[in-house]
Amino acid sequence: MSVESQLDPLFLARSYMRRRKYESCVEVCSKMLQKNPYDQSAWFMKAKALTEQVYVDEVEAEDVGLAEMFMDETAIASVSRPGTSFNRSDLSSSAGSSGSRGVRPISQSGRPVSGFVRPGTQSGRPGTVEQALRTSRTAATARPATTASGRYVRLGTASMVSEPGGPFIEVANLNLSKYATRVGLNKCLFDYFFYKEGDVRTAMDLAALATKAAEFQDWWWKQQLGKCYYRLGLYRDAQKQFESAIKDQPTVDNYLYLSKVFIKLDQPLSALETFESGMNAFPGETSLIVGCARVFEGIGDQPKSIQAYRQSLVYDASCVEAIACIGTQHFYSDMPEIALRSFRRLLQMGVVNTEVYNNIGLCCYHAQQFDMAITCFERALEFSDKTNCADVWYNIGTVAVSTGDLTLAEHAFQLALIMDNNHAEAYNNLAVLMIRQDKAERARAYYLSAIATNPDLYEAHYNMSILSQQLGDLNTAFKEIRKALEIFPDHVDSKNIYDNLKQYFTML
């Protein structure tokens, strides 16, 4: 007879919950409910375990889904001042510190690429608006739950009994007004509706009733109401709830949620004020400092962003995001040796993935450590998958071009396109190799593919203009060089070509 079979089932379920073995916890609780469907302790534990399986921290900003794109009625100024909107970054302040397009790659939104991919929602892109609204969020890691259920059996009511083979909780049978007054149980129900079922409206109704039952004095329920309003796109209502929660009880999460609302409303200055208020209340809180750094990076103020990341490392020396972003900044500031120290630190911390080895390989190459660069790229390919393998092969091709091995470079760029046929940079570089082989038509086709894939890649427009000049198509050359200057107005070579073509057409 096993030791687990001799233990009390409720104690065993709590043990599984504490060790994050949620499936085993659900299985034990289900057996307890089969024997006694009114066992409220087992019901409570099973609901918590089901919730923890799909729990994700709502503080982190998520990707824009289909519902947000088609149902967002928030009016944003089309012509905003630089530094006051995420849609118009002030790159002039960071031009001297690797903010230029000629030094650091720029995303399609017009901001320099970050050194760290922020976590978003783990659910895939929904197919319909209703599905996007009701899709529950999931995550690979979940926080351990703390429950205070007594060992004696608390009997529930008939509305809590689930039908065999049906859903665990029948929402239609629940009297929300009744359960909103049950302290402890109402929070468990809210988490189940919000995270497991993805039924935001029912969760919002329960939160509103519980807030009223608490005489509007419970900050936790105000926070949950704000989360529901945010999920439904009612950002101003969410702002009021979070501000009220901060007045009742200032917590780090409340400041983070409120700043998240301002970021969604494209108000970075208000978000910075919220972060500063939070740092005054909670000095040394790294999540607030990192939030400031993200906002500064979003509006194009790279120096202040790096300063904030360095400040966060003073309080938390193991902040992966801060180390990665500082290393990326050093790399694009032509300091690969210093950047190499940051990425090696990530390896020492146990962050072993394709991106880290890929960045170490690039740093070694630019630091003239060619033997280490090849080894790092090989390790990056070992850890790579379909999502990042194309970038590794693209970097290998770039290194091969610099060393003069054009055959290897061509094969590497072709492999990058096989892994990701939307890799605009690989199309552009492959077209340059085709020009060296006097294959103008193939080069032209690759340039067109690069432009179609990423219209904001100024190199493709610039190269296309040069090729069109060589082929005698001056109209196309003039059109492409104008697009290149619209994307990167400070590109000197593009200005020279534009002036020459403009002078030629003026003489005609």
pLDDT of the residue at 72: 60
- 70 vs 386, residue with greater confidence: 386
Q: Is the four-CA dihedral 449, 356, 61, 98 of positive or negative sign? A: negative
pLDDT of the residue at 91: 54
pLDDT of the residue at 490: 87
pLDDT of the residue at 73: 59
CB 235 within 8 A of CB 243: no
Long-range contacts of 401-410 (CB under 8 A, 24+ apart): 401/429, 401/433, 402/365, 403/370, 406/433, 406/436, 409/433
pLDDT of the residue at 480: 93
Is residue 42 pLDDT above 50, yes or no?
Answer: yes
Condensed to tens digits (0 to 9), the pLDDT of residues 305-345 reads 999 999 999 999 999 999 999 999 999 999 999 999 999 99
Mean pLDDT lowest among 7-21, 52-66, 366-380, 393-407: 52-66
- Confidence at 172, pLDDT banded by 50, 70, 90: low
User: Quick one: tokens of 368?
Assistant: 């003239």
- Strand ranges for 3-81 from DSSP E: none
Using alpha carbons, select from 418, 419, 395, 420 the residue that is nearest to residue 408: 395
Is residue 426 pLDDT above 80, yes or no?
Answer: yes
Distance CA 424, CA 499 (A): 27
Q: Alpha helix (H) ranges present in 165-285?
A: 176-179, 185-191, 200-213, 219-231, 235-248, 252-264, 268-281
Distance CA 370, CA 147 (A): 55
Report percent pLDDT > 90 for the chain: 51
- Confidence at 177, pLDDT banded by 50, 70, 90: confident
SS3 content of the chain, % helix, strand, coil (to 5): 65, 0, 35
pLDDT of the residue at 4: 67
CB 467 within 8 A of CB 436: no
- Confidence at 495, pLDDT banded by 50, 70, 90: very high
Is residue 130 pLDDT above 60, yes or no?
Answer: no
Using alpha carbons, select from 240, 234, 237 the residue that is nearest to residue 72: 234
